[in-house]
């Protein structure tokens, strides 16, 4: 949808009106928060309004202040290491409120502390307003990594995201070096259909040109993972999937230094070390870690070695202004065992006939964030960020996975990613026509300069990522492209509270995208004797510039404080990436007329709690996906069949997603020394291609859509002993739009469905003073299965998932 000038004026007028009509709140509350033991003021205590979110934070003198138009508030005072305090306040009467917090006893168990926090906070979703972001009426889910019983050392996504509804996960990496999640029919490959961020800034290779995430933060460093779908994702981008934001642990505000180290050993030579140091001294806070991983992998030829370092520095310039800087570095080298045919998988699912395939990632991220509070109602953030990274893939590739390596020249793909950008946000709470409202306006600038080179690698066995053009000038797969991208966006949302129970949140995103592709591809044909019979260079100099507006709206109805009905809808957009058009792959062809994807996503749901006994979130959704990019089978001139990557057609996915968590402790035991929960996470989806100009596509099921996606489990804890059991089941799903069955000959691993599979995981932990011991077994039943048919690296072919494996972790915290 092209933006007309008068539409832009209308949008800007509405938001200028909103912010110029901001009215001063009627009631001011201030006070001091002190320690019950020392009587000293406490810094960094967060004061929440239980229904709307953060109101204030105490300064170095323990003082806080905020303004509100509400006559009654339920205030929550929260800081780690202290007991949570909840106070109901009549703001018409009370102007000063001094609060005393009790320190948490060191004798309290980890379970008791966890239960205590969960009494107050519904941490399974984001609040209506958080800092400079709006989530009212939206589908949001929060993974509490710090309370997870997952195998954190290997970033086991199946366990970590067990309570996020509808996620489809590729599981072929036993070290968690890359995250591969999708949902609602979106390709899970490297989480490319989500906008992936850490602490609010982008971390993927190129948000528009190549939105693949080769870097995934270690779960051991995370406090939360925020997953936002629906209209709220317009604040972050155009993607169909929405947002995945990795929120790191924060510095301990009460210690100058806190030390933690975790060492893990496990199956297949797995060893990981995670060591962090953090603390706060006066106005300076810091959090830093180093994470090392190595292992042999569960297949031959799949060893890996990874190093990841992170530094966060925060400086509290004043009570209202804070500056933070972050630096992330990752380097890993992994050998890739290659893909399998159906016959190979059936004979020995864990074999490998690729000894010379390697993959390397070198990732450097940086950010600088300024957060300023103009007053208690108006917040501003400015975030500058950038990336300097590369990824190299080297190996023997053929669409015949059973063919042994000929020990000749290898295919080499080199990608360099250099980008920077900034995002500014202004959020203000105000009253409009006597009603509360919250407005957000923001802007983003993003500029990328990337290169993609494909050509001959060495004929050796080592991880040599240098081009060998002098030795192999007639190598058939050669290309060299520059891909500069420019993205500018203006976005805004506004919560309009119609009354105490109803709110409506409209939003928009004005997007300008300019993608370029400047380079060449060589077409070289050889005769049977290896002589060159064709050598031509095809130049490319393309510029694709577009400007459009995406709209979204959310609605929320809260009949009680523990129950909410929500609905939202938003337009979505995915631009063609340069990987869609530039890479030469023996396993598939690319349609030269491939184009951008567009669509609409919508949610209607109900969520809440029942008497502290049941927490639930149940919703239906619909996803209209036009011009969807995927694979179809095409017969070549030599009568061979090859995958074609193209705009397959228009698809529609709809379904029911539900998460129900039952507090069995409240039902049976009623004792805070115990924690006893049962959860069931269910996704039932129907999908169909409703239109296509490709033969045999209309009426087919959409790929990557299992009709049933089920995760369920029990968590039990007593004092400092915790345990969990989780069961996962996914029904059959197709890997291409033609719904092709497996090749009858069994000689192809690319064509065919992904069969139904189930997995059982178990884990156990024990904490004693500063020590914590964790252990577990993944895939307890030792099922043989796969979740992916790769068309390129790290295949092509079937990529098996890990068999039964174990791990043991020792944590020391000082």
For residue 9, the model assigns a pLDDT of 46
- pLDDT for 51 equals 65
The pLDDT-based confidence of 112 (bands split at 50, 70, 90) is low
Give the model's pLDDT for residue 225. Answer: 94
pLDDT at 52: 64
| pLDDT, position 124 | 67
Q: What is the mean pLDDT of residues 146-167?
A: 91
| Closest to 137 in 3D by CA, of 569, 437, 498, 550 | 569
The mean pLDDT of 342-367, rounded to a whole number, is 96
Contact by Cβ (8 Å): 209, 448: yes
Cα torsion angle, 403, 405, 408, 409, sign: positive
Q: What is the pLDDT of residue 400?
A: 83
Residue located via tokens 């009949």: 559
Q: Where are the domains of the chain?
A: 27-103, 246-284+295-403+416-813
Q: What is the pLDDT of residue 56?
A: 84
**How sure is the predictor about 3, in pLDDT bands with cuts at 50, 70 and 90?**
very low
What is the torsional sign of CA 219, 221, 223, 229? negative
Give pLDDT tens digits for 130-154: 888 888 888 888 998 988 899 999 9
Instruction: Reply yes or no on whether the pLDDT at 233 is more than 80.
Output: no
Predicted local confidence at residue 147, as pLDDT = 83
In terms of Cβ atoms closer than 10 Å to its own Cβ (0-12, 13-18, 19+), residue 145 is: buried
Most confident of 93-97, 193-197, 230-234: 193-197
CATH of domain 246-284+295-403+416-813: 2.40.170.20
* CA 585 from centre of chain: 28
Q: Is the pLDDT confidence value at 123 over 60?
A: no
Q: Which residue has the higher pLDDT, 638 or 596?
A: 596
**How many angstroms separate the first and last alpha carbons of the chain?**
57
Q: What is the mean pLDDT of the chain?
A: 88
Residue 14 pLDDT > 60: no
Query: pLDDT for 423-432, tens place per residue?
Result: 999 999 998 8
Residue 113, pLDDT score: 55
232-241, 523-532, 695-704: range with lowest mean pLDDT: 523-532
For residue 142, which of 243, 236, 229, 224 has the smallest C-alpha distance? 224
pLDDT at site 24:
40
In 3-state terms, what secondary structure has residue 160?
A: helix
Please report the pLDDT score of residue 110 as a whole number.
60
pLDDT at 12: 40
Please work out, in degrees rounded to the nearest 5, the angle formed at the alpha carbon of residue 157 by the alpha carbons of 398 and 118. 170
Beta strands in 122-248 (DSSP E): 129-130, 133-134, 139-143, 167-169, 181-183, 195-198, 201-202, 222-229, 243-248
For the segment 701-712, the average pLDDT, to the nearest whole number, is 96
Q: By C-alpha distance, which of 31, 17, 108 is closest to 66?
A: 31
Q: Is 145 helix (H, G, I), strand (E, B) or coil?
A: helix
Q: Report the top-level CATH class of 27-103.
A: mainly beta
DSSP conformation letters of 378-444: EEEEEEEEEEEEEEEEEE---S-TTSPP-SS--EEEEEEEEEEEEEEEEEEEEEETTEEEEEEEEEE
- Residue 23 reports pLDDT greater than 60: no
| 638, pLDDT greater than 70 | no
CB 133 within 8 A of CB 438: no
pLDDT band at 53 (very low <50, low <70, confident <90, very high): low
pLDDT of residue 5: 42
Q: What angle do CA 134, 69, 612 make, to 5 degrees?
A: 60
Q: CB–CB of 264/153 below 8 Å?
A: yes
pLDDT value at 209 more than 50 = yes
Residue 650's pLDDT is 96
The reported pLDDT for the residue numbered 11 is: 41
- pLDDT score of 813: 95
Q: What is the pLDDT of residue 523?
A: 81
Q: Which residues of 165-198 are buried (b: 16+ CB within 10 A; e: fewer)?
A: bbbbbbbbbbbbbbbbbbbbbbbbbbbbbbbbbb
């Amino acid at each position: 949808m092209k933006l007309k000038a008068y539409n832009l004026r209308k949008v800007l007028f509405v938001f200028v009106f909103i912010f110029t009509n901001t009215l001063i709140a009627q009631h001011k509350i201030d006070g001091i928060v002190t320690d019950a033991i020392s009587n000293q003021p406490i810094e960094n205590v967060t004061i929440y309004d239980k229904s709307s979110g953060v109101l204030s934070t105490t300064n170095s003198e323990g003082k806080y202040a905020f303004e509100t138009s509400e006559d009654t508030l339920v205030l929550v005072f929260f800081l780690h290491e202290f007991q949570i305090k909840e106070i109901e306040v009549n703001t018409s009467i009370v102007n000063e409120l001094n609060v005393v917090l009790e320190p948490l006893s060191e004798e309290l168990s980890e379970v008791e502390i966890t239960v205590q926090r969960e009494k107050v906070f519904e941490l399974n979703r984001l609040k209506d307003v958080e800092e400079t972001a709006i989530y009212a009426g939206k589908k949001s889910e929060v993974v509490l990594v710090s309370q997870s019983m997952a195998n954190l050392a290997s970033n086991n996504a199946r366990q970590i995201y067990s309570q996020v509804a509808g996620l489809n996960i590729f599981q072929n990496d036993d070290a968690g070096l890359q995250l591969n999640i999708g949902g609602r029919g979106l390709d899970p490959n490297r989480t490319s259909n989500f906008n992936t961020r850490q602490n609010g800034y982008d971390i993927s290779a190129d948000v528009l040109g190549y939105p693949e995430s080769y870097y995934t933060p270690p779960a051991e460093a995370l406090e939360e993972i925020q997953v936002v779908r629906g209209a709220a994702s317009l604040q972050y981008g155009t993607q169909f999937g929405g947002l995945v934001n990795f929120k790191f642990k924060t510095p301990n505000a009460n210690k100058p230094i806190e030390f933690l180290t975790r060492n893990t050993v496990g199956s297949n030579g797995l060893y990981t070390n995670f060591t962090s140091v953090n603390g706060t001294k006066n106005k300076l806070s810091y959090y830093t870690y180093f994470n090392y991983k190595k292992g042999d992998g569960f297949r031959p030829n799949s060893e890996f070695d990874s190093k990841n370092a992170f530094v966060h520095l925060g400086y509290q310039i004043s009570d209202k202004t804070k500056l933070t800087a972050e630096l992330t570095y990752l380097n890993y080298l992994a050998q890739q065992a290659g893909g399998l045919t159906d016959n190979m998988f059936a004979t020995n699912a864990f074999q490998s006939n690729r000894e010379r395939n390697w993959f390397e990632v070198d990732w450097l991220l940086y950010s600088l964030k300024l957060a300023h509070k103009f007053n208690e109602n108006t917040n501003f953030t400015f975030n500058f960020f950038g990336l300097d990274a590369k990824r190299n893939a080297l190996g023997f590739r053929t669409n015949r996975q059973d063919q042994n390596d000929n020990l000749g020249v290898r295919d080499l793909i080199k990608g360099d990613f250099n980008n920077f950008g900034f995002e500014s946000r202004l959020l203000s709470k105000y009253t409009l026509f006597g009603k509360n409202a919250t407005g957000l306006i923001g802007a983003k600038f993003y500029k990328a300069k990337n290169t993609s080179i494909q050509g001959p690698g060495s004929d050796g066995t080592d991880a040599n990522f240098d081009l060998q053009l002098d030795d192999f000038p007639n190598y058939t797969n050669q290309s060299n492209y520059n891909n500069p991208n420019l993205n500018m966006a203006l976005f805004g949302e506004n919560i309009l509270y119609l009354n105490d129970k109803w709110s409506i949140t409209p939003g928009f995103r004005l997007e300008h995208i300019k993608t370029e592709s400047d380079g060449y591809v060589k077409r070289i044909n050889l005769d049977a004797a290896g002589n060159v019979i064709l050598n031509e260079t095809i130049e490319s100099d393309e510029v694709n510039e577009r400007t459009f507006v995406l709209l979204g709206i959310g609605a929320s109805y809260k009949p009680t404080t523990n129950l909410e009905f929500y609905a939202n809808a938003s337009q979505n957009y995915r631009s063609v990436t340069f990987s869609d058009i530039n890479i030469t792959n023996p396993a598939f062809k690319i349609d030269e007329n491939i184009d951008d994807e567009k669509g609409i996503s919508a949610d209607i749901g109900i969520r809440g709690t029942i008497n502290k006994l049941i927490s639930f979130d149940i919703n239906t959704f619909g996803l209209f996906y036009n011009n969807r990019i995927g694979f179809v089978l095409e017969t070549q001139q030599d009568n061979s069949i090859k995958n074609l990557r193209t705009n397959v057609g228009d698809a529609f996915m709809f379904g029911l997603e539900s998460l129900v968590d039952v507090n069995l402790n409240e039902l049976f035991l009623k004792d805070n020394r115990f924690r006893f929960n049962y959860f069931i996470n269910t996704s039932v989806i129907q999908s169909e291609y409703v239109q296509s100009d490709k033969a045999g596509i209309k009426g087919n099921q959409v790929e990557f859509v299992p009709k049933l996606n089920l995760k369920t489990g029990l968590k039990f804890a007593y004092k400092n002993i915790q345990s969990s059991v989780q069961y996962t089941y996914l029904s059959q799903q197709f890997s291409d739009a033609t719904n092709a069955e497996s090749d009858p000959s069994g000689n192809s691993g690319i064509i065919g469905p992904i069969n139904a599979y189930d997995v059982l995981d178990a884990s156990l932990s024990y904490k004693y003073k500063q020590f914590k011991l964790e252990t577990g077994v993944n895939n307890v039943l030792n099922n043989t299965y796969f979740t992916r048919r790769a068309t390129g690296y790290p295949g092509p072919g079937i990529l098996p998932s890990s068999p039964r494996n174990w791990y043991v972790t020792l944590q020391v915290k000082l």
